[in-house]
Amino acid sequence: MSTPLSSTTPIRHFLTVDDLQPDELLAVLDLADDLKAQRPRPGRGPVSDFGTALAGHSIALIFEKSSTRTRVSFEVGVRELGGHPLVLNRDQLQLGRGETVADTAKVLSRYVHAIVLRTFGQDRLETLAEAGSVPVVNALSDLAHPCQAVADLQTIREYKGGLSGLKLAYVGDGNNVAHSLLKAGAMMGMHVAVATPPGYAPDAQVVDEAIELADPSDGRITITTDPVQAVEDADVLYTDVWASMGQEAEAAERAAVFAGYQLNTASLDLARPDAIVMHCLPAHRGEEITEEVLEGDASVVFTQAENRLHAQKALLLTLLGRA
What residues are labeled active site? 118, 145, 148, 240, 280, 308
Taking the C-alpha atoms of residue 78 and residue 59, their distance in angstroms, rounded to an integer, is 7
CB 213 within 8 Å of CB 143: no
128 Cβ neighbours under 8 A, 6+ residues apart = 101, 102, 104, 105, 115, 117, 136
CB 268 within 8 Å of CB 307: no
Cα 314–158–277 angle (5° rounding)? 110
The residue among 79, 82, 75, 129 whose CA lies nearest residue 102 is: 129
How far, in Å, are 167, 172, 296 from residue 289 at the CA level? 19, 10, 11
Taking the C-alpha atoms of residue 58 and residue 82, their distance in angstroms, rounded to an integer, is 10
**What one-character DSSP code corresponds to residue 142?**
S
Task: Give the count of alpha carbons within 13 A of 77, CB side only.
Answer: 25
Taking the C-alpha atoms of residue 316 and residue 299, their distance in angstroms, rounded to an integer, is 28
